[in-house]
Each structure stands twice: as structure tokens, then as C-alpha cells.
Amino acid sequence: MKIIIVGCGKVGMTLIKQLSREKHDITVIDARNEAISEATNTYDCMGVVGNGASYSVQKEAGVEQSDLLIAVTGSDELNLLCCLIAKKAGNTSTIARVRNPVYSKEIDYIKEELGLSMVINPEYASATEIARILRFPSADKIDTFAHGRVEILNFVIGEDSPLKNMTLIDVSKKYKCDVLICFVERGDEAFIPNGPFILRENDRVSFVATPRNAKEFFEKIGVDTHQVKNTMIVGGGMIAYYLGMQLRNMGIVVKIIDSDRARCEELSELLPKACIINGDATNKDVLMEEGIESCESFIALTGIDEANLFLSMYAKSVSKAKKIITKINRISFDDMISTFQAGSIIAPKNITSDYILQHVRVMQNSIGSNVETLYKLMDGKVEALEFLIRDESEITGKPLMEVKLKKNVLIGCINRGGAVIIPNGQSTIQVGDTVIVVTTHTGLGDIKDILAD
């Protein structure tokens, strides 16, 4: 596909990286010459220096022949204007990043009136992911499929875990839970495991299950499954605002600390049920005074990655928190974050990229099966996809044991009319099902892509 990306910030560069990996024809627009140079020198893409809302600049970038324009500049209004011009100039599909809470209640109206294919709010999406984790703090990460009926949960096997040194066959026999371990991360290696695979200490394990079965599995292996009762959030930006709203609705007591007095006053009006503290959280005395030692969860959401990392590591050393969550924005930190004890990592740029890539896959293939949901794991080396089966094919109507799949492909779950099936060799895929696939093969666009050649 021919795709234009307006804006070469953190989200824009992440999109360029992912979409160029998938061999799309990428052209980027940015007013900063140095940003265009960095993008074109690093990735396989073309660059145009200029205002993305200018018709002449979009025309130079090839908007009339493009399939999709994605506007992810730092201005919501500029993003919407870019999409409006692209729609008129090239009748292309458009995606806009819109972050301002003022627009959040009007998104459906804006999307319909401007003819946008998609509107993405990274801060709201990040807050939603954090809220999911706090509901189930034993998991490092939770990705949802089938409208919340199915989840992929990620956790680390600790020194005292009963799963350590067990094969997957033994895990299934001993615990008899309707879950499927679908992916194991061990150091820099990614495994789609089979029955004899042995789990080791420090493995990062992902499994597919319904929320109820996931809870049962965690309880059987001795892991706490209770939602946190309170949280301390450092940083009062837009993620903190959206998160505060969601957590209060979940019955979680919220305390937000921010050094900007004006922002604290604003949050006090927006979140009247939350406790808003004006203070410098990099001062440990402030954190101690506000009860960091007794908080059940700690979330570092400042605009400085280094500060977030140090705050989370300090919280881990002095508190009894069940869950610590750290926001990271800088792309250059991706490869070294795992060396820090900073709990669950939230990267808004990656969350945004996953949503947009999902939409691109849908555009690519509207016949046979659609990609309904897409998550990238282990820096994009592994993908978890949900396909909607629209038509009969080589993979439908026959037992899975008779279907020849590519290596490193696992069918993790079948959702049939709301009934969740953890498949075995006798299971079949039918038209109308949604199917969750976990694989190290990236760029799949159709369910038939999982078949061996």
C-alpha cells in the first residue's frame, strides 16, 4: 500500500519503522528538515519537507495516488485538517491522532463528519491498558480479544513459582485449567512452545484464556488475583486524567502527584473524587509523606523517561506495591528497558502503532478473513492476531490436526458466537468464527497465511 505519514515524532517514527518492515510504500511529511533526514536515512521511505496541511505539499507526497494518510503531528487540529485535505484531494482513507480531552466526547461526530477511517487517542488507549493491568496486577501485560471475552496475559516465572522446570504437558495435567500457553520470551529469544517445552525461571510467559479461567489458573499456581485497592500516580498529564476517570469507576482510590500547581488545580476540578497533591515527587520525603510505603500500586507518568524509571525503581525498593507501572516514550530506550526493575512498561507510541497497523491489515485484505485485532510483542518479533473468518477456505471445516501450519504458528483460541474454545486437534474453524493466532511470522493479513507452503 502507498501510505503518507504526517509527523515524524515518537509515534510517527514508530509507524515508519513498523510499516516499512511490512514493505509498504511510505512517504513522510514534516516541517523539520532534520526529522525528514533522520527518517529517510534510517528507514526505507521518501520524505517531503513542509506543512502537512498544505495541498501542494500533500500533492508532492503523492496524495492523489495514496491509499492511506496518517496524521500524527503534535496538534490535533492540524491532524484533522491534514485528513480533511487528503480526503478532498485524493479521496484517500485517513487516520488522525486526536488527544485533547475536549474532543473525546465528540470523536464519533468528528469521525463521521470528516469522513475519517479511524481516530486514535494514545493517552486514552494507554490509560485503558493500565486500568486492565491494575484489575489483574499479577500480570505484566494484558491484551484483549473478542470484545473482552478472551485475553492474552503475560507474567514472569519467579524463583518460587511452581511452574519452574515443568513441561507444558505437566502444567496441563497438574492444573487442568482451560488455558493455553502460547508464547515464551527467554532473554532475546522468542518461543512458540510445544508440549515437551520446559519452563525456566525468569521466562516471560504469555497464555490465552477467558478472564474467569485466567483467574482460576493464577489462583492454582498461588498468584494473587485481587484488584488493587489504591494507586499513587506521579505526573498529572492526559494519561493521568483518563486513568483517574477509569480507576474511580472501578472503585480504586486515586492519588495524583504533580509539581505544576495550575495543573493540580485543573485536575482537582476534572477529578473531584481523586486526591490531587501539588509536590515534587522526585523528593523522596514527598513520596514518603504521601504514603508510598503502603500504596498497592505505583504508576510513573511524568514526561521524562529517566525520572519514571528511577521513581519506579525507588517505589519497588520501599513499597509493598503489588504492581508498578512505568511510562516510556523514547524509542532509543526500547532495547535496554528489560534490564531495569521497573514493573510493567507502557509505551503510548507502541500502543498507537498497534491500533493503526491493525487498521492497515484490514485495508489490505477485505476478502476471506479480516484482521480484527493485532498486538505486537517482544519489539515486534511476535504477533498476536485475531482473524474474522468470512469465507470458506482450506483451513475451515476440517480438524486442526489435519491442517498443516507453518512452523512457529499457534492457534490459541476460537470464538464462536461468544463461546470461547481453547482448541485441540479435533477442533474445527467455521465461517463466522474469530480465531486468535500467535506467531513469529510478522505481516500476516489473512488466515490462509498461516498455512505451510
Quote the cell numbers at residue 422.
Answer: 481453547
Asked if residue 384 and residue 295 are part of one domain, the reply reads no
The answer to whether residue 188 is domain-embedded is no
Among 232, 229, 207, residue whose Cα is nearest residue 217 = 207
Tell me 261's DSSP state.
H
Q: Is residue 176 part of a domain?
A: no
Does residue 326 share a domain with residue 434? no
Residues 369 and 327 occupy one common structural domain: no
Q: What is the pLDDT of residue 365?
A: 58
pLDDT of residue 56: 95
Written as nine digits, the cell of 29 is 511529511
- For the domain that residue 338 is a member of, what is the CATH number? 3.40.50.720
pLDDT of residue 341: 65
Report the C-alpha gap between 332 and 326 in whole angstroms.
16
DSSP string, 187-217: TTEEE---TTPBP-TT-EEEEEE-HHHHHHH
Of the residues 312, 346, 380, which one is the last residue of a structural domain? Answer: 346
In this structure, the answer to whether residues 270 and 374 fall within a common structural domain is no
The amino acid occupying position 453 is: D
Cα 61 → chain centroid: 29
C-beta of residue 389 within 8 angstroms of C-beta of residue 109:
no
Pair 432, 416: CB distance under 8 Å: yes
Per-residue model confidence (pLDDT) at position 367:
45
Cell of 166: 515443568
Which residue numbers in the chain have pLDDT < 50? 367-368
CA dist., res. 425 & res. 445, Å (int)? 24
Same domain, 234 and 313: yes
CA geometry: angle at 441 spanning 436 and 442, to 5°? Answer: 85
Query: 3-class DSSP state for residue 344?
Result: strand
Instruction: Please give the Cα distance from 445 to 24 (Å, whole number).
Output: 13
C-alpha–C-alpha distance, residues 120 and 277, integer Å = 30
Exposed/middle/buried for residue 180 (C-beta within 10 Å: 0-12, 13-18, 19+): buried
For residue 403, what are the domain limits? Answer: 361-450
Please tell me whether residues 237 and 339 are part of one structural domain.
yes
- pLDDT (0 to 100) of residue 131: 94
**Final residue in a domain of this structure, among 86, 120, 154:** 120
- Identify the CATH number of the domain in which residue 440 sits: 3.30.70.1450
User: What pLDDT is stored for residue 369 in this prediction?
Assistant: 54
> How far is Cα of residue 64 from the mean position of the Cα atoms in its chain?
32
- Give the per-residue pLDDT at 23: 87
Name the packing angle between helices 238-249 and 122-135 (round to 10°).
40
Residue 374's nearest CA partner among 389, 346, 355 is: 355
Alpha helices in 136-276 (DSSP H): 168-175, 211-220, 238-249, 261-270
349-393 pLDDT, tens digit each: 888 888 888 788 777 655 445 788 888 877 678 889 999 998 888
Say whether both 338 and 367 belong to one domain: no
Contact 146, 376 (CB under 8 A): no
Kindly state whether residue 100 falls inside one of the protein's structural domains: yes
Q: How many alpha carbons fall within 13 Å on the CB side of residue 188?
A: 3
- Shared domain for 401 and 338, answered yes or no, is no
Rounded to an integer, what distance in angstroms lies between the CA atom of residue 245 and that of residue 451? 44
Amino acid at 35: A
Give the torsion sign (CA, 156, 162, 167, 173). negative
CA distance 289 to 257: 12
Q: Does residue 174 form part of some domain? A: no
The DSSP string of 278-301 is: ES-TTSHHHHHHTTGGG-SEEEE-
State which of 65, 86, 120 marks the end of a domain: 120
- How many domains does one find in the chain? 3
- By the 8 A CB rule, do 264 and 236 touch? yes
Helix-strand-coil percent breakdown of the chain, rounded to 5? 35, 25, 35
* Of residues 114, 101, 30, the one with CA closest to residue 72: 30
- Asked if 298 and 248 sit in the same domain, the reply is yes
Contact residues for 230 (Cβ-Cβ < 8 A; gap 6+):
252, 253, 254, 255, 295, 296, 297
Give the strand order in the sheet containing 344-346.
275-278, 253-258, 230-234, 297-300, 323-327, 344-346
Query: Looking at the domain assignment, is residue 130 inside a domain?
Result: no
Cβ-proximal residues to 13 (8 Å cutoff; 6+ apart), any chain: 38, 39, 331, 349
Residue 334 is predicted with a pLDDT of 52
Output the pTM of the full model: 0.84
Domain-located, residue 247: yes
298, β-bridge pairs:
232, 324
Residue 333 C-alpha cell reads as 530506550
**278 and 382 belong to one structural domain:** no
Answer yes or no: do 241 and 325 share one domain. yes
Is residue 146 a part of any domain in this protein?
no
Query: Which residues, 6 or more positions from 147, have their beta carbon under 8 angstroms from its beta carbon?
Result: none
Q: Residue 164: what pLDDT?
A: 94
- Residue 228 CA to residue 247 CA, distance in Å, equals 10
In a domain, 428, yes or no: yes
Give which of 77, 84, 65, 73 is closest to 28, Cα–Cα. Answer: 73
Distance CA 127, CA 377 (A): 19
Whether 374 and 333 map to the same domain: the answer is no
